[in-house]
Copies of this chain bind each other. A is one copy, B any other.
Amino acid sequence: MRTVPLEIDEDLGRDMHRWASDLFHYPRSLSGPGVTATFEYLDQLFDNLTIHRVATGTQAFDWTVPDEWTLRDAYIENSAGERIVDFKQHNLHVVGYSEPVDTYLTLEDLQKHLYSLPDQPDAIPYVTSYYKRRWGFCLTDRQRKALVNDTYHVVVDADLGPGHISYGEVIIPGTEKSEVMLSTYICHPSMANNELSGPAVTAALIRWLQSETRRHTYRITFVPETIGSIIYLSQHASHLKKHLRAGFVLTCIGDDRTYSLMPSRRGDTLADRIALGCLKGAGLSYDHYSFLERGSDERQYCSPLIDLPFVSIMRSMYGKYPEYHTSLDDLNVISPQGLAGGFALMQKCLKTLEAFHTYKAAIPCEPQLGKRGLYPDLSIFGSAAEARRLTNVLAYADGNLDLIDLANTIEDDVLAVAEIAENLCGHNLLVRV
């Protein structure tokens, strides 16, 4: 197998890390001002971001769009008037979608509303209750163990009622009707790998995609996870079934520990083949998960009656790294290098989709490459080794193997094979079929 390492753009990596840093403290949730502010920030990074608002109560397949949640403040105060747990210190301190409360409780009663992780005593857990009304606070187990008997003043100053859920969408028209989709989410507050790596890498990909004309139409969405992708599919599934060639969920794509692949449910769609071809061609080692370990919006995109060709290329996958879904998933978990690696791999996938053709020999038997300067004119053992990649493309371009199959068969990198094939087309030795 001949591999071509990814090219890592460290400047771009630093840009992406800065965007993630800027967005880190915005109090995102399914809805509310943190989401709005996030969209405003993204709108500065690239063109043509459209925000779609969906009203509370709207049906989306089996789901009903929930209330909008506008949180102004949330804290626990002890009898000395000290805010011992304060949402303004860390977004994760309040359970997502907590209903309003303003009351005084004993420690015993308060405990029923507290969440901490005994196994990770310094981590604030990420907890939400979108579809069941309750309120609660999250704190480190160390904080919790230090609580003393007291009367606590508990305040969640929030509106939770009819309003809207929003998602962002960018369409980059191509020269063909075929579409490629990127989907990332903007609903997790103050987590870096499992949230901001997604929008940051997606924003960089949009900037690159918008820099020149593309063959495919690119459809990019920034949705609240689960409800957002279900809403989007309730509006676009039949169009996507007709036009989508490949889709990618972008999440957990910013740390520097590994690469990961979440396949589609079917496991053999074009998206899977592109992802595998690019991982192999780049010579990357990676964790190949089973769809049984799915956890993000591929759950919707690949669901039986939707059945779109979606995969997820990640660095360390959700649920598989220790900081996941806690306050420890902070800006130190992701890195410019990590983000740039994720970007480079995704960019390679998109380049491969742009270059995706099936080639067929134009001439029976081997062509006389020597007269075209493509083959050594002196024959001595070993002299033709360099021409081997080119003759391999010619030997297998039978009109049946598409670019991925061809690269797999001749054990060469997909993009390198595409370049050789296009060169041979220029010599009228191959044709696209």
Interface residues of A (CB under 8 A from B): 60-64, 95, 115, 125-132, 134, 226, 229-230, 233-234, 237, 265, 291-292, 294, 299-300, 302-307, 319, 324-326, 360-361, 363-368, 370-371, 377-381, 391-392, 394-399, 410-411
Do B378 and A127 touch (CB < 8 A)? yes
Enumerate the 7 nearest inter-chain pairs by beta-carbon distance, A residue then B residue, closest first.
A132-B377, A304-B398, A304-B361, A305-B364, A62-B367, A325-B381, A300-B365
Q: Name the one of B237, B364, B365, B379 contacting A127, with C-beta atoms under 8 angstroms.
A: B379
Given A364-B61, A364-B305, A398-B307; A392-B129 close (CB under 8 Å): no
Residue of B nearest to A364 (CB): B305
A304 CB to nearest B CB, Å: 4
Do B233 and A365 touch (CB < 8 A)? yes
- Chain B residues whose CB sits within 8 angstroms of the CB of A378 once the complex forms: 95, 127-129, 132, 134
16 pairs from A and B in contact (CB 8 Å cutoff): A60-B365, A61-B364, A115-B380, A132-B370, A134-B378, A229-B365, A233-B365, A294-B395, A303-B364, A304-B360, A304-B361, A305-B364, A306-B364, A306-B365, A325-B380, A325-B381
A424 CB to nearest B CB, Å: 12
Interchain CA distance A292-B230 in the complex, whole Å: 47
Residue of B nearest to A411 (CB): B292
Given A307-B398, A377-B129; A364-B237 close (CB under 8 Å): yes
Interchain CA distance A356-B126 in the complex, whole Å: 42
- Chain B residues whose CB sits within 8 angstroms of the CB of A391 once the complex forms: 299
A107 CB to nearest B CB, Å: 21
Q: Name the one of B132, B265, B364, B366 contacting A299, with C-beta atoms under 8 angstroms.
A: B366
Do A305 and B361 touch (CB < 8 A)? yes
- Chain B residues whose CB sits within 8 angstroms of the CB of A377 once the complex forms: 129, 131-132
Q: Name the one of B128, B294, B379 contacting A379, with C-beta atoms under 8 angstroms.
A: B128
- Chain B residues whose CB sits within 8 angstroms of the CB of A361 once the complex forms: 303-305
A402 CB to nearest B CB, Å: 14
A51 CB to nearest B CB, Å: 22
- Chain B residues whose CB sits within 8 angstroms of the CB of A229 once the complex forms: 365
- Chain B residues whose CB sits within 8 angstroms of the CB of A366 once the complex forms: 62, 226, 230, 299-300, 303
Given A292-B392, A304-B395, A395-B294; A61-B379 close (CB under 8 Å): no
Most buried by B among A304, A319, A363, A370: A304
Given A127-B378, A292-B392; A233-B364 close (CB under 8 Å): yes
Do B303 and A395 touch (CB < 8 A)? yes
- Chain B residues whose CB sits within 8 angstroms of the CB of A370 once the complex forms: 131-132
Residue of B nearest to A138 (CB): B380
Residue of B nearest to A131 (CB): B370
Interchain CA distance A212-B368 in the complex, whole Å: 41
Given A299-B395, A304-B396, A304-B398; A131-B291 close (CB under 8 Å): no
Interchain CA distance A391-B295 in the complex, whole Å: 11
- Chain B residues whose CB sits within 8 angstroms of the CB of A233 once the complex forms: 364-365
Do B363 and A62 touch (CB < 8 A)? yes
- Chain B residues whose CB sits within 8 angstroms of the CB of A129 once the complex forms: 377-379
A216 CB to nearest B CB, Å: 24
